[in-house]
Amino acid sequence: MLTPEELEHVSDDAIKLYAELEETIIRDIARRIITSGVMTETARHQIKAIQESGKLYNEVIEEIARITKQSKTVIKKIFENAVIESLSYDDEVYKRAGLNPIPIKQSPSMLQTLTAGLNKSNGDIHNLIMTTAGSAQNIFINATNMAYEQVTSGAFDYNTAIFNAIEKVSKDGINIIYPSGRKDKIDVAIRRAVLTGVNQTANKIQDQRADEMECDLVEVTAHAGARVTTKLDWTNHSWWQGKIYSRSGKSKKYPNLEETTGYGKVDGLGGINCRHNKYPFIEGISKRTYTDEELEEINNRTVTYKGKEYGEYEATKIQRQKERKIRELKRELAGYEEIMLNSEDDNLLTQARGKFNKKMNDLKKAEKELRQFIKETGLKRDAARERVYGFDRKFSNKLES
């Protein structure tokens, strides 16, 4: 079994690597915008922008290759630890029933499942990350074109156009582009890919173990703030969590796992971004973790913020918005810092310092607001969701006041 808390943080180490990639790209784009020469004539500007974007594309590819090589080691460790952890709990249940499950390293079929899951997730992540090179190139071209048009139209002076372009790049961040065309921020996409891959691989190996042990019944984990919908079907995770199910569907006492929880579906148990896992339940040996009354209390739990009551699922979404705002401000600060490091224009430097200080104050306010939200609601702070690589190491001492 993997607990919801373990799955919540299973991708933290991988996200650190890809946050580094995002900041590297943003800083590189900011530096290139400063030196792109948006005051030159149209033809020269367009040629230079295309040349620079080509350099950017190649350098992003190199950075992706470096980060991806590191991440394979990280992802491998994440998968192995998660699978060993999930089976160790399950195997204790089987042993209490007098069964003798063999270690995973002695099971060729389980090792094959683990390897297949690891390779698939690494491949999925690599394919997603490779889209950032094209995304970064387009961001650079669009930003320099915007700055050029603002200056040549007379709507903004040179420095203001530079700031507008860099602010947009920093605020928007770097997107992952899915084959469907959907876009997500890089940290969101990596978190989803790792969590989903680990949980699905663990579930498959747990199924193999259950088949070996001829165990039909499983209990599903439960957590506060589970996904809520208006339907009473598998898309409403709060409805089915924490209960006992039959894997085969042949039990007259317990409902069918697949039909009730949507096990195997993208929006059901073990689907995309789902933090629910399952573990063996053996009648006469196992005892339910939660009673129906306790599950009702978990599902109906509310918090209060600024005098208003929220369901925990809704409150968690508010927390995620506040965390995204903090990351956005940190990216903007990274962009301003790049101006200060690379520009020789005294006026531009003075304006950059002023904007940097203002955004630093905005960041302090945003972090204070999040701390107050955590204090009032009693929810847990997730520092990993507030981080921007590099920024936190350099400026954390400035944010304590």
Instruction: Compute, in degrees rounded to 10, the torsion defined by CA atoms 208, 214, 220, 221.
Output: -70
Mode of pairing for the β-strands spanning 302-305 and 244-246: unpaired
Could you tell me if 230 and 303 are in contact, meaning their C-beta atoms sit under 8 angstroms apart?
no
Q: Tell me how far apart the alpha carbons of residues 222 and 3 are, in angstroms, rounded to a whole number.
A: 8
- What pLDDT score does 41 carry? 57
Name the 3-class secondary structure at 245: strand
- What pLDDT score does 401 carry? 43
Task: Please give the C-alpha separations between residue 295 and each of 138, 301, 392, in angstroms, as whole numbers.
Answer: 48, 10, 39
Residue boundaries of the structural domains of the chain: 1-198, 216-300, 302-395
Instruction: Compute, in degrees rounded to 10, the torsion defined by CA atoms 145, 146, 151, 155.
Output: 150
Paired with 305 in beta bridges are: 308
Could you tell me if 277 and 270 are in contact, meaning their C-beta atoms sit under 8 angstroms apart?
yes
Q: What angle in degrees, to the nearest 10, is found between the helix axes of 108-152 and 158-172?
A: 160
Residue 297, both tokens:
């209390």
- The pTM of this model reads 0.79
Task: Please give the C-alpha separations between residue 144 and each of 125, 139, 163, in angstroms, as whole numbers.
Answer: 29, 9, 11
DSSP state at residue 106: G
**pLDDT tens digits for the chain (401 residues)?**
888 888 888 888 888 888 888 888 888 888 888 776 554 556 667 667 777 888 888 888 888 888 888 888 888 888 888 888 889 999 999 999 999 999 888 889 999 999 998 889 888 888 888 888 888 888 888 888 888 888 888 888 878 888 888 888 888 888 888 888 888 888 888 888 889 999 999 999 999 999 999 999 999 999 988 999 888 899 999 999 999 999 999 999 999 999 999 998 999 999 999 999 999 999 999 999 999 999 999 999 999 999 999 999 999 999 999 998 998 898 889 888 888 888 888 888 898 899 999 999 999 999 999 999 999 999 988 877 777 655 655 555 554 44
> Which residues does 158 contact at the CB level (< 8 Å), separation at least 6?
38, 39, 151
Q: What angle in degrees, to the nearest 10, is found between the helix axes of 312-342 and 12-34?
A: 40
